[in-house]
Amino acid sequence: MTSLERIVDVAIVGAGFAGLAMAGALRRAGRDDFVVLERADDVGGTWRDNTYPGVACDVPAHLYSLAAHPNPHWSRTFAPGGEIQTYLRDVAARERLGDRLRVRTPMLGAEWDAAGTVWRIDTGADPLVARSLVLACGRLTEPHVPAIDGLESFDGPLFHSARWDHDVDLTGKRVAVVGTGASAVQLVPELARRAAHVTLFQRTPAWIVPRGGGEIPLADRERLAENPGDLARLRAELYAEGEERFASRSGDAAASAAAREMALSHLHAQVSDPALRAALTPDYAFGCKRVLLSDAFYPAVASDAVTLEPTALTAVDGSALTAASGERYEADILVLATGFASTRQPYADLVRAGGATLAEHWSEGMTSFGSTVVAGFPNLFVLNGPNASLGHNSAVLMAEEQASYVVRALAERDRRPDRTLRVRPEAEAAYTDEIAAAAASTPWLTGGCRNWYVDHRSGRLTLLWPGTVQAFHERLVGTDGSEFLPSVHAPSAEPAEATPTHPRP
């Protein structure tokens, strides 16, 4: 490291909810020496990339927003994707990021320089050197494309729901959709209204509960804007409702039974055909997979506009699609609503310390301490990474808790002679065991389904936090710095005159 090299204190990778939450937390802590790297040409993350018809959040909008930036103007209970993207642009503007936000600047690689105690980040342009690196890259960024025999032979438009091709006209076309997860449940009713016919390939049915909500009257929006206390109370009520849902998602017998009955009643009320109803009924525990919200999906599937194929798509030959059942269908357009590379984060291959990549460290599933710091990777923080997702409440709350932890950890870093935080391997191991013990009896591991919360290389729950948001808050606030190894250059216990002095690196 040369004396002329410019070092930024914190480099944040990603300008979605987590990255903007981190930038705001740093600003409020008086830490203005940071940059935010964004590979795309705009902020927004998931809500920039997912633009499929019907895209919306399934968390109430007043809770799916940053605490420092409440928004009284949400138009609907569950905000459309475009509205969330506009909100995030507004947050970036209110945080006055200016040239700290570097769009069209990907992280192509990052390596820890042990001698200089800095991260060296390759962006394809001028080298960037940072004392600390925060990965806020998101967990649902890289679409998962399943291995389907002959998929490349499909002779019409073929795309993933997260990379929607708006140049394709759906009118009068036969559209096939692969998958019945959160995106498909929103997408299929829209396609049913536009396409000539929709064929839906369902590998596994989902538990679906009523969505409710709707447009928020203008008078209510004006009242919330004029009375911040009302907005704060609404947010608190929504938070409490979310925390109450943890019981039904995590396997509490009474709560799960009640939620399961609600879902089955919803299905029976909206689907009259017994055979179709049976095909749409899950055979695994409530909460094992992500519970979905929709009032429109079942009516669409029950209509003449949609054909449900209750098995997976196994082969493609031109326009002919073959299901595991042996049934064959013809399609003009093929949409993959097949999820994301969630347990194997793509950025992990790009980050290296001590001769190993983060992907190698996570070769048997993601691990961490506090869902945020990783042994062997000094001064590195991961938001939305190991065990930081939720199945019952707003994930934005988790990112905010992590950002607060990072600010506290940076203060600890600054008190150290070498300004370096190294996670104790035994602290990471203990936290991993803590997660495993809390998850052991939950439906996520015992419910009889295959879900994206579990890394199937190890069978461990690596995506979800197996507790409430309040429990996560208490866990992080309760840390005292003992998760980190002592400073390499810490003063010895010998008298000062017997201790050689060293220049500060």
Same domain, 396 and 354: yes
Q: What percent of the chain has pLDDT over 70?
A: 96
Strand runs (DSSP E) across 30-117, as ranges?
A: 34-37, 101-102, 109-113
Number of domains, the chain: 2
Mean of per-residue pLDDT scores for the chain? 94
Strands (E), 174-298: 174-178, 197-201, 208-209, 292-293
Residue with tokens 């940076």: 410
pLDDT higher than threshold 90 for residue 161: yes
Residue 178 placed within a domain: yes
Both 14 and 116 in one domain: the answer is: yes
Tell me the pLDDT band of 340, cut-offs 50, 70 and 90: confident
Query: What is the pLDDT averaged over residues 168-184?
Result: 97
For residue 178, what is the domain's CATH number? 3.50.50.60
68 and 95 both lie in a single domain: yes
CB atoms within 10 A of CB 371: 25
Distance (Å, whole) CA 138 – CA 341: 11
Asked if the structure places residue 435 within a domain, the reply is no
Query: Where in the sequence is the domain holding 66, given as residue range(s)?
Result: 7-142+341-424+465-477
For residue 311, tell me if it sits in a domain: yes
Beta strands in 186-302 (DSSP E): 197-201, 208-209, 292-293
Q: How far apart are CA 270 and CA 179, in angstroms?
A: 20
Q: Are residues 195 and 326 in the same domain?
A: yes
pLDDT of residue 60 exceeding 80, the answer is: yes
Counting every residue written for the chain, the total comes to 505
Q: Compare 220 and 3 and report the one with higher pLDDT.
A: 220
pLDDT band of residue 489 (cuts 50, 70, 90) is low
Looking at 336, 367, 388, the residue that finishes a domain is 336
- What region, left, alpha or beta, does residue 402 occupy, with left being phi > 0 and alpha being psi -120 to 50 degrees? alpha
Q: Beta partners for 16?
A: none
Where does residue 453 rank: exposed (0-12), middle (13-18), buried (19+ CB within 10 A)?
Answer: buried
Can you give the pLDDT at residue 495?
Answer: 31
Let me know if residue 230 belongs to a domain. no
250, 287 Cβ separation under 8 angstroms: yes
The predicted structure's pLDDT at residue 327? 98
Element holding 268 (H helix, E strand)? helix 253-270
Per-residue pLDDT reduced to its tens digit, 407-436: 999 999 999 999 999 999 999 999 999 999
Distance CA 177, CA 161 (A): 9
- pLDDT tens, position by position, 377-392: 999 999 998 999 999 9
Sign of torsion over alpha carbons 7, 12, 14, 19: negative
Question: Is the confidence at residue 304, as pLDDT, over 80?
Answer: yes
Tell me the β-bridge partners of 199: 176, 307
User: What is the Cα–Cα distance from 215 to 292, expressed in whole angstroms?
Assistant: 20
323 and 395 belong to one structural domain: no
Q: Tell me, what's the pLDDT at 500?
A: 28
With a cut of 70, say whether residue 66 has pLDDT above it.
yes
Long-range contact list for 306-309, CB < 8 A, 24+ apart? 306/188, 306/192, 306/197, 306/198, 306/199, 306/200, 307/197, 307/198, 307/199, 307/200, 308/200, 308/202, 308/276, 308/279, 308/280, 309/199, 309/200, 309/201, 309/202
Q: Are residue 271 and residue 195 in the same domain, yes or no?
A: yes
In tens, the pLDDT along 114-158 reads 999 999 999 998 889 999 999 999 877 788 999 999 999 999 999
**Residue 28 falls inside a structural domain:** yes
Do 13 and 128 share a domain, yes or no? yes
Closest to 174 measured CA to CA, from 330, 337, 336, 338: 330
> Over 70: is that where the pLDDT of 269 sits?
yes
HSE of 67, CA atoms in CB hemisphere, 13 A? 17
Give the H or E element holding residue 336: strand 333-336
| 490: pLDDT strictly greater than 70 | no
Q: Are residues 125 and 172 in the same domain?
A: no
- pTM of the full structure: 0.93
**Structure confidence at residue 302 (pLDDT):** 98
Q: Is the pLDDT of residue 52 over 60?
A: yes
Q: What pLDDT sits at residue 137? A: 92
Give residue 491's pLDDT: 42
Give 436-462 pLDDT, tens digit per residue.
999 999 999 999 999 989 998 999 999
Whether 276 and 327 map to the same domain: the answer is yes
* Sign of the Cα pseudo-torsion (190, 193, 198, 200, in order): positive
Same domain, 158 and 127: no
The answer as to whether 458 is a domain residue is: no
**Does residue 497 carry a pLDDT above 70?**
no
**Is 433 contained in some domain?**
no
pLDDT at 139 (0 to 100): 78
- Of 272, 302, 336, the domain-final residue: 336
Judge whether 388 and 399 are in contact, CB under 8 Å. Answer: yes
- Identify the pLDDT of residue 2: 52
- Of the residues 336, 371, 401, the one at which a domain ends: 336
CA distance 491 to 499: 8
**Do residues 288 and 198 both lie within one domain?**
yes
Between the alpha carbon of residue 234 and those of residues 115, 213, 227, 283, the distances in Å are 51, 14, 11, 36
Same domain membership, residue 280 and residue 189: yes
Mean pLDDT calculated for residue range 23-35: 97
- 232 lies in a domain? no
